[in-house]
Structure 1
Amino acid sequence: MRSLQDTLYNWLTIKVVADARPDDHAANETYELFTNILKDDHKVENVQVLKEDPMYYVLYTTEQGENKKVRFPMELIDVMIDQINNEPEKYTNYPK
Protein backbone atom coordinates (compact mmCIF):
# COMPACT_ATOMS: atom_id res chain seq x y z
CA MET A 1 0.00 0.00 0.00
CA ARG A 2 1.23 3.47 -0.83
CA SER A 3 1.64 6.08 1.84
CA LEU A 4 -1.06 8.70 2.22
CA GLN A 5 1.43 11.36 1.08
CA ASP A 6 2.18 9.44 -2.14
CA THR A 7 -1.51 8.83 -2.78
CA LEU A 8 -2.38 12.50 -2.28
CA TYR A 9 0.44 13.50 -4.64
CA ASN A 10 -0.76 11.11 -7.35
CA TRP A 11 -4.41 12.02 -6.77
CA LEU A 12 -3.68 15.75 -7.10
CA THR A 13 -1.51 15.31 -10.19
CA ILE A 14 -4.19 13.35 -12.04
CA LYS A 15 -6.95 15.65 -10.73
CA VAL A 16 -5.21 18.61 -12.39
CA VAL A 17 -5.09 16.65 -15.66
CA ALA A 18 -8.70 15.43 -15.39
CA ASP A 19 -9.94 18.95 -14.61
CA ALA A 20 -8.06 20.37 -17.60
CA ARG A 21 -9.18 17.54 -19.91
CA PRO A 22 -12.74 16.57 -18.94
CA ASP A 23 -13.09 14.35 -22.04
CA ASP A 24 -9.92 12.39 -21.24
CA HIS A 25 -11.36 9.02 -20.21
CA ALA A 26 -8.05 7.62 -18.98
CA ALA A 27 -7.41 10.64 -16.76
CA ASN A 28 -10.92 10.49 -15.32
CA GLU A 29 -10.69 6.76 -14.62
CA THR A 30 -7.30 7.21 -12.96
CA TYR A 31 -8.66 10.11 -10.90
CA GLU A 32 -11.53 7.89 -9.73
CA LEU A 33 -9.05 5.14 -8.84
CA PHE A 34 -6.99 7.44 -6.62
CA THR A 35 -10.13 8.96 -5.10
CA ASN A 36 -11.23 5.46 -4.10
CA ILE A 37 -7.80 4.66 -2.67
CA LEU A 38 -8.00 7.79 -0.52
CA LYS A 39 -11.46 6.80 0.73
CA ASP A 40 -11.07 3.04 1.06
CA ASP A 41 -7.42 2.54 2.02
CA HIS A 42 -6.65 5.77 3.85
CA LYS A 43 -10.14 6.62 5.15
CA VAL A 44 -9.82 10.23 3.99
CA GLU A 45 -12.91 12.39 3.47
CA ASN A 46 -13.81 15.94 2.46
CA VAL A 47 -10.76 16.40 0.25
CA GLN A 48 -10.38 19.96 -1.02
CA VAL A 49 -7.69 21.70 -3.05
CA LEU A 50 -6.49 25.26 -2.78
CA LYS A 51 -4.03 26.69 -5.28
CA GLU A 52 -1.95 29.56 -3.97
CA ASP A 53 1.21 30.26 -5.92
CA PRO A 54 3.68 28.57 -5.51
CA MET A 55 1.80 25.73 -3.76
CA TYR A 56 -1.19 23.48 -3.95
CA TYR A 57 -2.74 22.78 -0.57
CA VAL A 58 -4.78 19.63 0.00
CA LEU A 59 -7.13 19.75 2.96
CA TYR A 60 -8.83 16.59 4.19
CA THR A 61 -10.45 14.93 7.18
CA THR A 62 -9.15 11.68 8.67
CA GLU A 63 -11.41 8.90 9.93
CA GLN A 64 -10.70 10.17 13.45
CA GLY A 65 -12.24 13.51 12.47
CA GLU A 66 -8.95 15.39 12.35
CA ASN A 67 -8.60 18.12 9.75
CA LYS A 68 -5.23 17.95 7.99
CA LYS A 69 -3.45 20.00 5.38
CA VAL A 70 -0.50 19.12 3.16
CA ARG A 71 1.21 21.13 0.48
CA PHE A 72 2.86 20.37 -2.82
CA PRO A 73 4.89 22.71 -5.04
CA MET A 74 2.95 23.64 -8.16
CA GLU A 75 5.93 22.83 -10.38
CA LEU A 76 5.85 19.18 -9.21
CA ILE A 77 2.11 18.75 -9.58
CA ASP A 78 1.81 20.51 -12.93
CA VAL A 79 4.55 18.47 -14.63
CA MET A 80 2.09 16.02 -16.20
CA ILE A 81 -0.37 18.59 -17.55
CA ASP A 82 2.50 20.75 -18.78
CA GLN A 83 3.93 17.77 -20.67
CA ILE A 84 0.53 17.03 -22.20
CA ASN A 85 0.07 20.66 -23.23
CA ASN A 86 3.59 20.91 -24.68
CA GLU A 87 3.27 17.73 -26.75
CA PRO A 88 -0.45 17.09 -27.32
CA GLU A 89 0.22 14.76 -30.24
CA LYS A 90 1.68 12.25 -27.78
CA TYR A 91 -1.42 12.30 -25.56
CA THR A 92 -4.34 11.61 -27.84
CA ASN A 93 -7.65 11.05 -26.12
CA TYR A 94 -9.27 7.93 -27.52
CA PRO A 95 -13.02 7.47 -27.12
CA LYS A 96 -14.31 4.69 -24.91
Structure 2
Amino acid sequence: MQLKDALFNWLQIQVVWDKRPSDRSAKDTAHFFEEMLREDHQVTIVEKKVEGGNYVITYEQAGEQRQVEFPRDMAEKLLNDIINEPKYNQSFED
Protein backbone atom coordinates (compact mmCIF):
# COMPACT_ATOMS: atom_id res chain seq x y z
CA MET A 1 0.00 0.00 0.00
CA GLN A 2 1.31 3.43 -0.91
CA LEU A 3 2.14 5.80 1.96
CA LYS A 4 -0.54 8.34 1.06
CA ASP A 5 -3.20 5.61 0.93
CA ALA A 6 -2.10 4.22 4.30
CA LEU A 7 -2.19 7.70 5.85
CA PHE A 8 -5.68 8.32 4.46
CA ASN A 9 -6.97 4.95 5.68
CA TRP A 10 -5.49 5.62 9.13
CA LEU A 11 -7.08 9.07 9.17
CA GLN A 12 -10.54 7.81 8.22
CA ILE A 13 -10.61 5.17 10.92
CA GLN A 14 -9.01 7.50 13.46
CA VAL A 15 -11.83 9.99 12.84
CA VAL A 16 -14.32 7.20 13.54
CA TRP A 17 -12.51 6.12 16.70
CA ASP A 18 -12.25 9.73 17.94
CA LYS A 19 -16.03 10.09 17.63
CA ARG A 20 -16.81 6.56 18.88
CA PRO A 21 -14.15 5.76 21.50
CA SER A 22 -15.93 2.60 22.67
CA ASP A 23 -15.94 1.14 19.13
CA ARG A 24 -13.44 -1.69 19.50
CA SER A 25 -13.33 -2.40 15.75
CA ALA A 26 -12.36 1.20 15.03
CA LYS A 27 -9.68 1.05 17.73
CA ASP A 28 -8.24 -2.22 16.42
CA THR A 29 -8.27 -0.98 12.82
CA ALA A 30 -6.59 2.31 13.76
CA HIS A 31 -3.85 0.34 15.52
CA PHE A 32 -3.49 -1.90 12.46
CA PHE A 33 -2.86 1.12 10.21
CA GLU A 34 -0.48 2.68 12.76
CA GLU A 35 1.51 -0.55 12.73
CA MET A 36 1.52 -0.62 8.93
CA LEU A 37 2.76 2.97 8.82
CA ARG A 38 5.56 2.16 11.28
CA GLU A 39 6.64 -1.14 9.77
CA ASP A 40 6.11 -0.60 6.03
CA HIS A 41 6.87 3.11 5.75
CA GLN A 42 8.88 3.92 8.89
CA VAL A 43 6.35 6.64 9.71
CA THR A 44 5.30 7.96 13.09
CA ILE A 45 2.25 10.21 13.32
CA VAL A 46 3.09 13.43 15.12
CA GLU A 47 -0.19 15.32 14.87
CA LYS A 48 -3.63 15.30 13.25
CA LYS A 49 -5.58 18.55 13.10
CA VAL A 50 -8.35 20.26 11.19
CA GLU A 51 -7.46 23.40 9.30
CA GLY A 52 -10.37 24.88 7.42
CA GLY A 53 -11.76 22.26 5.08
CA ASN A 54 -8.80 19.89 5.46
CA TYR A 55 -7.25 17.47 7.88
CA VAL A 56 -3.52 18.02 8.16
CA ILE A 57 -1.40 15.09 9.25
CA THR A 58 2.11 15.81 10.42
CA TYR A 59 4.31 12.74 10.45
CA GLU A 60 7.95 11.86 10.81
CA GLN A 61 9.82 9.73 8.30
CA ALA A 62 13.58 9.27 7.98
CA GLY A 63 14.20 11.87 10.66
CA GLU A 64 12.20 14.55 8.83
CA GLN A 65 8.79 15.98 9.61
CA ARG A 66 6.41 16.09 6.69
CA GLN A 67 2.78 17.01 6.18
CA VAL A 68 -0.06 15.79 4.04
CA GLU A 69 -3.55 17.22 3.71
CA PHE A 70 -6.83 15.48 2.96
CA PRO A 71 -10.22 17.11 2.35
CA ARG A 72 -12.29 17.00 5.51
CA ASP A 73 -15.41 15.70 3.76
CA MET A 74 -13.48 12.74 2.33
CA ALA A 75 -11.82 11.96 5.68
CA GLU A 76 -15.17 12.02 7.49
CA LYS A 77 -17.05 9.98 4.87
CA LEU A 78 -16.59 6.64 6.66
CA LEU A 79 -17.85 8.14 9.92
CA ASN A 80 -20.87 9.63 8.16
CA ASP A 81 -21.61 6.35 6.42
CA ILE A 82 -21.51 4.54 9.77
CA ILE A 83 -23.71 7.15 11.45
CA ASN A 84 -26.24 6.91 8.62
CA GLU A 85 -26.44 3.10 8.80
CA PRO A 86 -28.79 2.22 11.70
CA LYS A 87 -27.50 -1.33 12.14
CA TYR A 88 -24.09 0.09 13.14
CA ASN A 89 -25.50 2.59 15.63
CA GLN A 90 -27.53 0.46 17.99
CA SER A 91 -24.96 0.30 20.77
CA PHE A 92 -22.88 3.44 20.21
CA GLU A 93 -24.03 6.80 21.44
CA ASP A 94 -20.59 8.36 22.01
Q: Same fold (TM over 0.5)?
A: yes
Measured in 1, the distance between the counterparts of 2:34 and 2:66 equals 17
User: Residue 24 and residue 93 in structure 1: after superposition, are their counterparts in 2 closer, same or farther (change >3 A)?
Assistant: farther
Counterpart among 62, 67, 78 of residue 80 in structure 1: 78
Deviant stretches of 4+, over 6 Å: none
Measured in 2, the distance between the counterparts of 1:92 and 1:46 equals 29
Please, which runs of 5 or more residues in structure 1 have no aligned partner? none
TM-score by length of 1: 0.87
Count of residues paired in the alignment: 91
Measured in 2, the distance between the counterparts of 1:53 and 1:85 equals 23
Q: How does 1:1-96 map to 2 (within 5 A)?
A: 2-62=1-61, 64-87=62-85, 89-92=86-89
Once the two structures are superposed, residues 36-62 of structure 1 have per-residue CA deviations (whole angstroms, 9 ceiling, x without a partner) of 001111101243101012000000110
Please, which runs of 5 or more residues in structure 2 have no aligned partner? none
Q: Once the two structures are aligned, what percentage of the paired residues are identical?
A: 37
